[in-house]
Structure 1
Amino acid sequence: MSDSTQLARQVVQALLDAGVREAVLAPGSRNAPLSFALLAADRAGALRLHTRIDERSAGFLALGLARTSGRPVAVSCTSGTAVANLAPAALEAHHEHLPWIAVTADRPLRLRGTSANQTTEQVGLLPRAEVLDLAAGDEVDVPVGALLAARGPVHLNVQFDEPLTPVDDWVPRPTTARPPAPASTPEPKVLARGPRTVVVAGDGAGPAARLLAEQAGWPLLAEPSSGARAGSHAVPAYRVLLGTELAAEVERVVVAGHPTLSRPVARLLGREDVEVVDLAPDDRWQPRPFPVVDSAPVWRVGDGAPDLEWLDRWREAGRSLAARVRALLRAEGDVTPHEVAGVVAGAVGARDLLFVGPSNPVRDLDLMMTPPPVDRSARVVANRGLAGIDGVVSSAIGAALAHGAEGRTIALMGDVTFLHDQGGLVLGPHEPRPNLTLVVVNDDGGSIFSLLEQGGADHAHAFERLFGTPHGVDLAALCAATRTPHWRVESVAELEHALSQPAGGIEVVEVRVRRDNRREIDERVRNLRP
Structure 2
Amino acid sequence: MTEQWQSLDSLNALWSALLIEELARLGIRDICIAPGSRSTPLTLAAAANPAISTHLHFDERGLGFLALGLAQGSQRPVAVIVTSGSAVANLLPAVVEARQSGIPLWLLTADRPAELLGCGANQAITQANIFANYPVYQQLFPAPDHDITPSWLLASVDQAAFQQQQTPGPVHLNCPFREPLYPVAGQQIPGNALRGLTHWLRSAQPWTQYHAVQPICQTHPLWAEVRQSKGIIIAGRLSRQQDTGAILKLAQQTGWPLLADIQSQLRFHPQAMTYADLALHHPAFREELAQAETLLLFGGRLTSKRLQQFADGHNWQHCWQIDAGSERLDSGLAVQQRFVTSPELWCQAHQCEPHRIPWHQLPRWDGKLAGLITQQLPEWGEITLCHQLNSQLQGQLFIGNSMPIRLLDMLGTSGAQPSHIYTNRGASGIDGLIATAAGIARANTSQPTTLLLGDSSALYDLNSLALLRELTAPFVLIIINNDGGNIFHMLPVPEQNQIRERFYQLPHGLDFRASAEQFRLAYAAPTGAISFRQAYQQALSHPGATLLECKVATGEAADWLKNFALQVRSLPA
User: Is the TM value for this pair above 0.5?
Assistant: yes
- Whether 1:395 aligns to 2:436 is yes
Tell me which moved more, 52-61 or 31-40: 31-40
1:150-299 matched pairs, under 5 angstroms: 150=164, 151-167=168-184, 175=204, 183-189=214-220, 190=223, 192-204=226-238, 206-207=243-244, 208-244=246-282, 245-249=284-288, 250=290, 251=292, 252-275=294-317, 276-280=319-323, 282-285=325-328, 288-296=331-339, 297=341, 298-299=346-347
In 2, the alpha carbon distance for the partners of 1:180 and 1:314 equals: 47
1:94–1:224 Cα change, 3 Å: same
Residue of structure 1 equivalent to 2:197: none
In 2, the alpha carbon distance for the partners of 1:512 and 1:179 equals: 54
- Whether 1:59 aligns to 2:64 is yes
In 2, the alpha carbon distance for the partners of 1:162 and 1:38 equals: 19
1:388–1:308 Cα change, 3 Å: farther
Residue of structure 1 equivalent to 2:77: 72
Which SS does the other structure have where 1:254 is aligned? strand
Displacement of 1:125:
0.8
Query: 1:285 is aligned with what amino acid?
Result: R
Displacement of 1:319:
2.9
Which SS does the other structure have where 1:279 is aligned? strand
Cα shift readout 1:383-405 (whole Å, capped 9, x = no counterpart): 01111111000000001110111
1:409-448 matched pairs, under 5 angstroms: 409-427=449-467, 431=470, 434-448=473-487
Which SS does the other structure have where 1:295 is aligned? strand
Which structure 1 segments of 5+ residues have no match?
A: none
Displacement of 1:274:
3.2
1:412–1:279 Cα change, 3 Å: same
Q: Which structure has the greater CA radius of gyration?
A: 2
Residue of structure 2 equivalent to 1:467: 504
Cα shift readout 1:29-64 (whole Å, capped 9, x = no counterpart): 1111112122222xx3x2211110010000000000
2:34 to 26, 31, 34: 26
Displacement of 1:482:
1.1
Tell me which moved more, 54-63 or 145-154: 145-154
Displacement of 1:452:
0.9
1:148–1:239 Cα change, 3 Å: same
Query: 1:402 is aligned with what amino acid?
Result: A
1:321 to 369, 386, 401: 369
The answer (yes or no) to whether the contact 2:233–2:258 under 8 Å persists in 1 is yes
Query: 1:426 is aligned with what amino acid?
Result: A
Displacement of 1:12:
1.3
1:489 to 523, 526, 538: 526
Query: 2:17 is aligned with what amino acid?
Result: R
1:226–1:392 Cα change, 3 Å: same
Which SS does the other structure have where 1:314 is aligned? coil
Residue of structure 2 equivalent to 1:476: 513
Q: What is the aligned-residue identity percentage?
A: 29
The answer (yes or no) to whether the contact 1:97–1:284 under 8 Å persists in 2 is no
In 2, the alpha carbon distance for the partners of 1:309 and 1:472 equals: 53
Displacement of 1:320:
2.4
In 2, the alpha carbon distance for the partners of 1:323 and 1:148 equals: 52
Query: 1:120 is aligned with what amino acid?
Result: I
Displacement of 1:195:
3.5
The answer (yes or no) to whether the contact 1:9–1:37 under 8 Å persists in 2 is yes
The answer (yes or no) to whether the contact 1:343–1:496 under 8 Å persists in 2 is no
1:95–1:420 Cα change, 3 Å: same
Q: TM-score, structure 1 length as denominator?
A: 0.90
- Whether 1:145 aligns to 2:158 is yes
Which SS does the other structure have where 2:323 is aligned? coil
1:501 to 512, 534, 538: 538
In 2, the alpha carbon distance for the partners of 1:287 and 1:367 equals: 20
In 1, the alpha carbon distance for the partners of 2:367 and 2:177 equals: 62
The answer (yes or no) to whether the contact 1:76–1:103 under 8 Å persists in 2 is yes
Residue of structure 1 equivalent to 2:20: 12
Residue of structure 2 equivalent to 1:84: 89
